[in-house]
Structure formats: structure tokens, C-alpha cells
Amino acid sequence: MNVPFFDLSRAAARIAPELDERWRGLLERTAFVGGPEVAEFERAFADYLGTTACAGVANGTDALVLALRALDLAPGDEVIVPAFTFVATASAVVMAGGRPVFADVEAATLNLDAEEVERRRTERTVGVIGVHLYGRPFDVEGVGEVCRRYGLWLVEDAAQAHGASSHGRRVGRFGDLATWSFYPSKNLGAFGDGGAVTGEDRDRVEKVRLLANHGRAEHYHHVVVGTNSRLDGLQAAVLNCRLPRLERDNERRREIACHYHRGLSDLPGIRLLEDPDGALSVYHQMTIRVPGRRHELREFLASRGIGTGVHYPEALHRQPALLPEDGEPPVLPVAEAAGGEVLCLPVFPELEDREVDAVIAEIRAFPGSTGA
Ligand SMILES: Cc1ncc(COP(=O)(O)O)c(C=O)c1O
């Protein structure tokens, strides 16, 4: 059986009638940039998170850059970021004028290690970006405690974790600001690019909105130098259709993850990631580790029609674009090993049980996987 890594057409089919109606309304009102769909979504998403304010922006990368600017990042300021995440977490720091300082991740969770944050801190450190990687909350207590001790701000990069929670509280409510991506494959995805910045501090979120709209206080009156990074109405309409379904969709992702755990946990060559204490994951990715044989397993599954992904093949501190000026990257062994071992299996709400069974059966059929 062929099992796709991801199939957006199934999600699109589920919301087509409602989306049709919303899009038709937009065509009549020509409210394409900003407008009522955007306002409705910003309110609904802030309410869903239990936070105060939300500013829609053009994508999750801009959300990070604008959040850093709203936190007054100055040239040369250091920001600690995990070495194992999507490139935007670190490149946003560079684009906002700062310097990313890479910290290693925890071996059990592949999320930012609070002790490493403390170790990498210098007099120039102003803040930390934590990433809820694969939909699993990072150690918000440990990292938050280091931030409080040294007076650092904390940004949550929640691009992969819409609806996840830690100790009963949704991610996005632990940092000074949280940033979101609505790229189509995300748990809450648009049908194009989209993003948002959320937070308790309304003034700071309003500063993001100002920066995202040419620094315009009034029509043709610009109080700061800003950019054009706005959420468009058509994408907000998709998000308005999908947000009420997010809880159920995340529940289905958890069911699928449980199914994988049951089917794979006895295999000696495969390691499953641990969920942090008190965490409720939303499984943006279902990631396994395959030490020494990731590439082989991936090729084997591809030959059987099973789609997989590798998020991410190389840790960020070793990326040419992000090497320090002296060219010598730090040694961060956990992130470096993870790049060679992680394999992401199909997980999306519309995936059927028989498809998950097929993926499990093929992994078990991989020569040597059962240790026999
Ligand atoms: C952890 C993380 N941060 C930031 C981003 C950037 O989001 P976007 O692709 O919407 O710019 C992504 C998205 O892929 C991501 O996974």
C-alpha cells in the first residue's frame, strides 16, 4: 500500500464547503489584505491560547524577526537558540541584527537543554528562543527559570506546536512572545503562507503589528521603519475554518502516535523520543531515531511506497550560512548525532489506521529491524 508522508488534499476536502462560502464573501467584499477574516482569526486564536493579543503576519519567519525587533534586539546582541531546529529560528536572529548562539538539545527529547542555555550565556546574551520541536513542548520551566535568573526574555517558537500544552497550560503562554507559522503542513495550516505573534503584553504585540505594516501609525504617517508582512484574508479564512477542528485533529495525531508507539517500541534498532514531563504533545511530526541505518530504512520504505521525511539532516551550527566569523562551529554532540538519525513517519489527522498499520508492518519487515 502507498502511504503518503503528507496529503493536504484530504484536509482541503474536509473544509471545502465552508471555505467556499468564506472565500465567496471575500470576493464580494474584496477584503484581501487584513479585513474581517483576519480580525476574526486574531481574536479566535488569542482566545484559543488563553492569551491577550495576536497579530497576524505573512509567515513564521517574519513572526520571529518581528518579535525580536519588538523586543528591541540591538546589533550584536546574543540570542541563545537550539542547534537542532528549522533554520528560521536562527536566521531570524541574524536578520534582526543579532547573533545566534547555539545550545545543544536534550538526548531524550531533542528539545533545548536548560543547562546548556546557562552554559552558553554571556554578558551579551539578551534572550532565548525555545522551539517546541515536532509539537512537543520544550522544558519551559527549566529554560524559563534560567531566563528569570539572568533577566533574559524568552520567545517561544511555536511554529510546530499549535495546541500543545505543558502542565495543563497551552504553549505560547510561557514566554514574553510566541511566534507561529501557518505553513500548509503545520497542525494549524493555511493554504499558503501565514504566521502570527501572540502574547500577554498587548503593547508589544501591537508593536509587531506596527512593524509589520510599514511602521504606519496613520495613513502615510510612519513612526518607525517597518516592513510589509501581513496575514491575507484568504489565508485567514482557511484558518477560521480549521481552528475549530484543531483540538480533534490533534487528538487524532496523538492516537496515531500511540499506534506507532505500540507497533514499534519493541524494535531494538529504533529509538522513540520521550515526551517531556507534564507535556501534551500534538505530534506535528512522528519522529523516530534509527542509529546507523536511517538512510537504509528510508530507502527501504520508499521502495515499498511509504513516504518519510528527515527533519533535519544537519544541525544548524554546522550550516555554512550560520558558521561563526572564525569558521569554527562549537561541538554540540546531541544535535550532531540527531541529524544523522531522525526519521519522520506519516502523521496527519486524515491518515487512516490501515495506513499506519502498513507503515508499521513495513518497518518491521526491514531486514534486521526485529533483531531476529
Ligand atoms: C520551528 C520553525 N520555526 C520557524 C518556521 C518558519 O515558518 P515559515 O515557514 O512560515 O516562515 C518553521 C516552519 O517551517 C518552523 O518549523
pTM of the model: 0.97
Measured in Å, residue 225 CA sits from the centre of ligand 1 at 24
Ligand 1, from 86, 136, 171: best to mutate by most atoms within 8 Å of Cβ? 86
Atom of ligand 1 nearest to the CA of 193: 10
**Ligand 1 interacting residues, C-beta cut-off 6 A:** 59-61, 85-86, 88-89, 131, 157, 159-160, 181, 183, 193, 195
Distance from the alpha carbon of residue 305 to the mean position of ligand 1, in angstroms? 27
> From the alpha carbon of 181, which atom of ligand 1 is closest?
10
Residue 73 per-residue DSSP state? -
Q: 57, 61, 188: which to mutate for ligand 1, most atoms within 8 A of CB? A: 61
Q: How far apart are CA 35 and CA 168, in angstroms?
A: 33
Tell how strand 177-181 and strand 195-199 pair up. antiparallel
Task: Give the residue, out of 68, 183, 191, with the most ligand 1 atoms within 8 A of its beta carbon, to mutate for a pocket test.
Answer: 183
User: What pLDDT was estimated at residue 326?
Assistant: 80
- How far is the centre of ligand 1, averaged over its atoms, from the C-alpha of 85 (Å)? 9
60 CA distance to ligand 1 middle (Å): 5
98 Cα to the center of ligand 1, angstroms: 19
Q: Could you write out the three-class secondary structure of 182-231?
A: CCCCCCCCCCCCCEEEEECCHHHHHHHHHHCECCEEECCEECCCCCECCC
CATH top-level class for 246-365? alpha beta
Please check whether residue 75 is in contact with residue 97, taking contact to mean a CB–CB distance below 8 angstroms. Answer: yes
Give the pLDDT of residue 369. 85
| d(CA 181, ligand 1 centre) in Å | 6
Topology, domain 8-244: Aspartate Aminotransferase; domain 2 (3.40.640)
pLDDT 10s per residue in the chain (372 long)? 999 999 999 999 999 999 999 999 999 999 899 899 999 999 999 999 999 999 999 999 999 999 999 999 999 999 999 999 999 999 999 999 999 999 999 999 999 999 999 999 999 999 999 999 999 999 999 999 999 999 999 999 999 999 999 999 999 999 999 999 999 999 999 999 999 999 999 999 999 999 999 999 988 999 999 999 999 999 999 999 999 999 999 999 999 999 999 999 999 999 999 887 899 999 999 999 999 999 999 999 999 999 999 999 999 999 999 998 887 899 999 999 999 999 999 999 999 999 999 999 999 999 988 776
SS3 317: helix
Counting ligand 1 atoms within 8 A of each CB, the residue from 91, 129, 131, 160 with the most, and so the one to mutate, is 160
Residue with cell 503589528: 209
Burial class (CB in 10 A: 0-12, 13-18, 19+), 327: exposed
Which amino acid type is present at position 128?
V
Cα distances (angstroms) measured from residue 292 to each of 56, 104, 277, 286:
42, 21, 28, 19
CA-nearest residue, atom 12 of ligand 1: 159
| pLDDT on residue 371 | 77
Atom of ligand 1 nearest to the CA of 62: 11
The yes-or-no answer to whether 8-244 and 246-365 have a common fold is no
For the chain, give every domain's residue range.
Answer: 8-244, 246-365
Report the separation in Å between the CA atom of 261 and the middle of ligand 1, taken as the mean of its atom positions. Answer: 26
